[in-house]
Amino acid sequence: MSEIKLNPCPVCGKIPKVKMDYAYKASGFGAWCTIQCKPFFRKPHLKIENGKSTWERAYKYAAAHWNEATEEMKND
Ligand SMILES: [Zn+2]
């Protein structure tokens, strides 16, 4: 799997957790990638989910989306 460096969470500065799951059948995707910052007992500051046909694509798109979102939040 090609590694894309993830930006830290723009709210708390922590590196996000990456979770790979088999997608729900109904979604039509084979691989599901979730990237999120998850503080204990609280809602994630930022959460990105992406479904694709392969793990590598799911991660690549989710990681790119995560980095984009962190940049946008920094500019707010
Ligand atoms: Zn955070």
pLDDT, tens only, 3-52: 789 999 999 999 999 999 886 656 677 899 999 998 878 889 999 999 99
Say how many Å lie between the CA of residue 6 and the centre of ligand 1.
Answer: 13
Say how many Å lie between the CA of residue 38 and the centre of ligand 1.
Answer: 6
The pocket of ion ligand 1, defined by CB under 5 A, consists of: 9, 11-12, 37, 45
Give the strand pairing for 47-52 and 31-36.
Answer: antiparallel
**Residue-by-residue DSSP string for 7-60:** PPPTTT-PPPEEEEEEPPGGGT-SEEEEEE---TTS--S-EEEEEESSHHHHHH
- Residue-wise pLDDT tens digits, 43-54: 899 999 999 988
CB atoms within 10 A of CB 52: 18
Nearest to 36 by CA among 2, 11, 56: 11
Say how many Å lie between the CA of residue 26 and the centre of ligand 1.
Answer: 30
Output the pTM of the full model: 0.84
Tell me the β-bridge partners of 48.
35
